[in-house]
Structures are given as structure tokens and as C-alpha cells.
């Protein structure tokens, strides 16, 4: 049965009073050398009557009865010493008043014995309670790498933990090896495999914050090769004295890749524009689509409809959202945006108010190798979805695009630019649906991003492949990208192209070097032939540009947020768009790759030079 806080304090208070009485008896025995007779006991009565209230009052005054057993440390020891001195003085005073002729040595011994009893009883109680808590628990066994100040602080913090037990220290400093610090032996790092096997170590904690991150990563890589789970710990002073903890323990600073600080905290929250709305998210199982669904939940929509043609991806995101305990209805729909009948049924059945269109093939080599399906899904799928949304009088339609749509040189970029043109064309002829486009660069960690590719290559020991030494890309975080998409839906007036101020483009070679070093390796090149991982240049792939752009024109308008801009861009006329779509359908139906190439070259790749209606028209 667990005790209340008041009961625990009462027990500790009575414990100190009992220790005071016992200390008096033990002091008399120690000083006189024999058990007290009846006369001595009579002399002790007034002394005991004096020290009991003093012990109780001093314990309450110093708050010693409120100190948890696990927190009984040096300040509490000093408090116990003060109480011991007080009861010794009280006994001496009471003896003088009552003319109890006890040896003077009894009184200092009384103080010392009281301190021993009260400290010892608390330590005994703490050990007993820890044993009770631990008896039925399986505790994780931890090896601490680093016997310096941080390691010692960690070991002290874990000494009374009921779930984790520190087993030993490991340190590269020979002067510390074989010493015992805080009850733990310090071993050399060469003995780690033996320690892991002998003590059944569950994880290793790197407690060496002064060592550079690359060195820590190198040690972690070696430990993981032994089958150890590895964690890193910043110094305890840093935890409360510098930046927030999450920024200190990230495996790699995002600002190193972005060339700027993240904008998550600079972008406002999602407004009430989505509250109470029925929202359809296409491509809901993808990295962008799934994050859109997660962030939309905080906007309190009436319902979320998730559309994706990948069964595993759709199942994963729908289960994740439903298992989160949200009261918002989640409806997964398995199918393609190219199926007009399905789209029409979904929009009507769920009375969709907002469409967020994230469904697209986006892997450049895959689309280049499957031109027909890439154009069918990205262009005709967007046309089908947008037409049905307009017919159903959906309130808002937001197309998620890419910087590859700006002056494209490959099929994927052309398909996304054509999708943009479709939305721009419909925006000029729609009175009930507000169409808009959101365009951004590479999203860190998303499917197809260079970051996961580099991580896999580094994990395999390299080489890291780079298409060109001078290639650059814009980067943003997943949360930034999704927040931009959702904010665009609140800013749109119809036909808008929104872009984010993403800073300067980032050299991909720099990204590769930083990731290699952050993983604890060195780059092998002409200057460092003994390095760990080589960066190999493979050449630009079909459909890939050296530098991406975010804007077709130079005219920009502001929005309610300074980091989000509205592009002023031209588009095809209604007749031109109809001609393009007719030619596109014919080429897809006949699988005429040459006709598709000619269409892209005429209407997309060269559209910025001729045949495009100005944005002001």
C-alpha cells in the first residue's frame, strides 16, 4: 500500500525523535562503559524530555522530514549535523538544570551518535525501498563511455533509478583506467566487447560532450558494429545553460544544410480556414501528403479523406491518424486521381470543401524511364481532379508543385509545369472554386530526397554519388513545406503561385561532405587519400538541371506573411490549353513518345520565350 506525503513526513519526523532517544542511551553506554542502572536512568529522563522536542522542532524547522530519501545528500547531512549539535547542547543544559551528574563526554558523543543513526537509518530505508522497486523490474544495463565530469554526473543520477543500472565506465584516458569512480570500475575501450558479453549491456551512453561530433560519431559507428545501442549525452551544464535540448542532440543541424535557420517558428499557425471543413488530400500516403494530414488535425476539420493508389502507404497513414485517438473522421480511399468516376463519387459523397493535391510521380529517373505514365498521372490526373473539383463547386483547390516546373529540361518538370498551367487556366474561368499553386524545392528527408540516399550510401561504407560537382538545390524542412501549403490555402485569391523565401541554394557536394563527417567518417579525395568514404561524380541524369529555380518571371507580390511571396507568371490561353490537352491525350493513347517530346518542347520548355499569355492579361 502506498503512503501519502503527510504519512511519509510523519514517519521521518518520528524516526529522528527515536534516533535522538537511542543516541542518548548509546552515548551513556559508550562513555560509562556499562549499561545504565536505575539511578542513571532517572538522571536521563529530564535529558530525554529536553532533546525530544528539540529534535522534532529542528527537524521541522530545517525541513529534513520533507527531504525525499533519494535526495538525501550533503545539504541534508549538514542539517542532520545541526540537529545533533542542538540536542547535545539541549541535553547539557537540561543536565545542569536538573543537576543530573552525567559525564561531560556524554554530550558530544550524543551529537555524533545521533548523526550516525539518522543518516544510517535514512540510507538503510532508501536501499530497502530501491530493492523493493527493482525486485520485479527488468532494468536496462548501461555502459558509460567517458569517466569525466559528465559521466560521473550521469552515474550518480542513475544510481537510484529503478529502470536503468550503470554497470561500468569506459575511458580512453590510461590514468583513469582500473580506477573505481562512484562504485564503478573504469575499463579501457578495447574491453568493450568483453564487457558487453559479460554484463549483458543493453546500451552505451557517450558522456563526452567536449569531444567533437565527428569523433563521437566515429566511436558510435564502431560500437554499433559490435551490436551496441548507442546514445550521446550533452553536458549537464549545457542542458540548462545554452540552446533548447532538441537543438543540441540533433544528429545534424538543419541550418548547416539550409544555409539559414528553419522557418517553422516564423510561419504562423494554421488559421480557422480549415476548421469545420471536409478536406480531401490526394497522395496522402506520401511524405508531403502524410505530413499535411498530421498538421490538418490541429485545425479541427470536419473530416479528412485520404486518397492514394498505394495500399501500404494509405494503410500506414490512416492507421497512424486513427490510432492517435482523434475524434475527426478519417476515410481512406484507395484509387487514382485519373479515375474521374471515383473522384466525382468521393467529392459528392463527402461534400468536400477543400482539395490538397499532393499526388504525383516525382522521382526524376523513374519518370524519365516511364514517360507515358508520368504524363498521364501528373498532367491528366491533375486535369481530372481539378475539373471534378470545379464541377462540385469545391471551395479551394491547392496544387503542390516543385521548382523543377520552372524552365524544365525533363519529363517530370514538364509534367509539373503542365499541371500548373491547367490550374492557372481553370482559375481564370472558375467563379466558385479558388485555385492556387504552391511551389517549393527539395524537402529534407522526403521520399526521393538526396538526404536518405546519402544516408544509405554512407551506411554501406560509400561511395557517395554526386551527379555534378557544381550542382545546387533549394532545401526546406517537411514542416516548412506543409505549413506553406496550408497557409497558401488561406491567402489565395485564385490562380496564385506561392513560393517561400528559401534563402540561397545549397551546393550538394557540401551536403555530402557534411553528412559524411557527421557520421564520424572522413572524405577520401586527393588531399586525403586515406579517408573513409569517397564522393564519386556520376554525371547529370536525363531531365536533371545543374541549378534549380523557383520563379519563371521576376515579378513578385507580397502576402500577409513576409516569408511567403506570390509570383506573377504567365499562362496559356484557354484555346492553347485545350490544344495542348488534346495533343497530350492523343500521344498518351497511342504511346507516341516523339509526339510527347515535341509537345513538351513547344508548349513547356520554350513557353517562357513565346506563346504565353502575360499574367496581367
Active-site residues: which are they? 404
Residue bearing cell 524547522: 61
Question: Taken in order 156, 159, 163, 164, is the CA torsion positive or negative?
Answer: positive
Instruction: Compute the CA torsion angle 188, 192, 198, 204 (nearest 10 deg).
Output: 110
Helix (H), strand (E) at residue 30? helix 5-32
- 257 contact partners, CB below 8 Å, separation of at least 6: 444, 451, 475, 506, 511, 514
Neighbour order of strands in the sheet with 180-181: 180-181, 184-187, 164-170, 140-145, 203-206, 229-232
Instruction: Name the nearest CA neighbour of 67 among 8, 124, 22, 112.
Output: 8
Give the whole-angstrom CA distance, residue 14 versus residue 115.
15
Grid cell of 106 as nine digits: 556524554
Largest CA distance in the chain: 121
Residue 123, φ and ψ in degrees, nearest 5: -65, -40
Instruction: Name the nearest CA neighbour of 406 among 605, 580, 616.
Output: 605
Q: String of b and e for 115-149 (b: at least 16 CB within 10 Å)?
A: bebbbebbeeebeeebeeeeeeeeeebbbbbbbbe
Instruction: Name the nearest CA neighbour of 337 among 318, 322, 356.
Output: 356
CB 478 within 8 A of CB 446: yes
Residue bearing cell 525541513: 63
Helix (H), strand (E) at residue 520? none
Counts for the chain of helices (H) and strands (E), in that order: 22, 22
Residue bearing cell 497522395: 283
Q: How many residues does the chain have?
A: 617
Q: Bridge partners of 583?
A: none
Give the whole-angstrom CA distance, residue 280 versus residue 527.
54
Instruction: Name the nearest CA neighbour of 290 among 268, 322, 314, 311.
Output: 314
Amino acid at each position: 500500500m502506498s503512503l501519502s506525503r503527510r504519512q511519509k513526513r510523519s514517519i521521518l519526523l518520528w524516526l529522528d525523535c527515536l534516533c535522538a532517544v537511542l543516541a542518548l542511551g548509546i552515548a551513556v553506554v559508550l562513555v560509562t562503559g556499562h549499561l545504565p542502572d536505575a539511578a542513571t536512568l532517572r538522571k536521563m529522563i529530564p535529558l530525554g524530555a529536553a532533546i525530544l522536542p528539540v529534535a522534532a522542532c529542528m527537524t521541522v524547522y530545517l525541513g529534513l522530514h520533507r527531504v525525499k530519501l533519494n535526495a538525501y545528500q550533503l545539504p541534508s547531512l549538514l542539517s542532520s549535523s545541526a540537529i545533533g549539535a542542538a540536542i547535545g547542547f539541549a541535553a547539557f543544559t537540561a543536565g545542569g538544570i536538573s543537576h543530573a551528574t552525567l559525564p561531560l563526554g556524554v554530550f558530544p558523543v550524543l551529537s555524533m551518535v545521533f548523526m550516525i543513526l539518522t543518516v544510517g537509518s535514512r540510507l538503510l530505508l532508501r536501499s530497502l525501498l530501491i530493492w523493493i522497486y527493482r525486485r520485479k523490474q527488468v532494468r536496462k544495463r548501461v555502459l558509460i563511455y567517458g569517466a569525466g565530469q559528465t559521466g560521473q554526473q550521469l552515474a550518480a543520477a542513475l544510481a537510484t533509478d529503478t529502470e536503468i543500472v550503470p554497470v561500468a565506465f569506459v575511458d580512453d584516458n590510461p590514468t583513469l583506467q582500473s580506477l573505481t569512480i562512484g562504485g564503478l570500475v573504469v575499463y579501457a575501450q578495447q574491453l568493450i566487447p568483453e564487457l558487453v558479453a559479460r554484463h549483458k549491456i543493453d546500451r552505451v551512453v557517450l558522456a563526452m560532450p567536449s569531444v567533437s561530433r565527428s569523433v563521437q560519431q566515429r566511436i558510435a559507428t564502431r560500437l554499433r558494429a559490435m551490436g551496441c545501442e548507442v546514445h550521446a549525452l550533452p553536458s549537464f551544464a549545457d542542458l540548462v545553460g545554452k540552446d533548447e535540448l532538441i537543438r543540441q542532440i540533433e544528429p545534424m543541424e538543419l541550418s548547416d544544410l539550409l544555409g539559414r535557420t528553419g522557418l517553422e517558428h516564423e510561419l504562423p499557425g494554421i488559421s480557422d480556414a480549415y476548421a469545420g471543413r471536409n478536406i480531401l488530400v490526394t497522395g496522402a500516403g506520401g511524405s508531403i501528403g502524410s505530413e499535411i494530414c498530421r498538421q490538418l488535425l490541429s485545425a479541427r476539420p470536419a473530416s479528412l479523406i485520404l486518397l492514394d493508389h498505394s495500399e501500404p502507404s494509405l494503410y500506414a497513414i490512416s492507421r497512424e491518424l486513427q490510432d492517435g485517438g482523434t475524434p475527426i473522421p478519417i476515410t481512406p480511399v484507395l484509387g487514382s486521381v485519373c479515375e474521374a468516376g471515383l473522384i466525382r463519387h468521393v467529392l459528392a459523397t463527402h461534400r468536400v470543401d477543400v482539395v490538397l493535391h499532393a499526388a504525383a510521380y516525382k522521382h526524376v529517373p523513374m519518370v524519365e524511364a516511364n514517360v507515358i505514365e508520368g504524363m498521364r498521372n501528373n498532367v491528366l490526373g491533375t486535369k481530372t481532379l481539378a475539373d471534378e473539383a470545379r464541377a462540385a463547386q469545391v471551395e479551394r483547390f491547392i496544387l503542390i508543385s516543385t521548382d523543377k516546373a520552372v524552365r524544365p529540361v525533363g519529363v517530370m518538370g514538364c509534367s509539373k509545369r503542365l499541371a500548373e498551367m491547367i490550374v492557372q487556366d481553370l482559375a481564370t474561368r472558375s467563379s466558385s472554386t479558388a485555385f492556387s499553386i504552391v511551389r517549393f524545392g527539395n524537402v529534407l528527408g522526403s521520399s526521393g530526397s538526396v538526404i536518405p540516399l546519402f544516408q544509405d550510401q554512407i551506411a554501406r561504407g560509400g561511395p557517395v554519388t554526386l551527379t555534378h560537382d557544381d550542382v545546387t538545390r533549394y532545401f526546406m524542412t517537411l514542416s516548412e513545406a506543409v505549413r506553406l501549403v496550408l497557409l497558401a490555402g488561406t491567402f489565395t485569391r485564385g490562380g496564385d503561385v506561392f513560393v517561400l523565401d528559401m534563402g540561397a541554394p545549397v551546393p550538394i557536394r557540401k551536403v555530402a561532405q557534411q553528412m559524411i563527417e557527421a557520421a564520424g567518417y572522413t572524405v577520401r579525395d586527393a588531399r586525403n587519400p586515406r579517408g573513409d568514404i569517397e564522393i564519386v561524380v556520376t554525371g547529370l541524369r536525363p531531365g536533371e538541371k545543374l541549378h534549380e529555380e523557383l520563379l519563371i518571371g521576376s515579378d513578385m507580390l507580397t502576402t500577409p506573411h513576409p516569408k511567403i511571396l506570390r509570383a506573377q507568371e504567365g499562362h496559356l490561353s484557354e484555346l492553347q490549353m485545350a490544344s495542348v490537352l488534346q495533343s497530350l491525350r492523343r500521344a498518351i493513347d497511342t504511346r507516341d513518345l516523339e509526339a510527347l517530346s515535341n509537345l513538351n518542347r513547344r508548349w513547356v520548355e520554350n513557353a517562357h520565350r513565346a506563346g504565353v499569355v502575360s499574367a496581367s492579361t
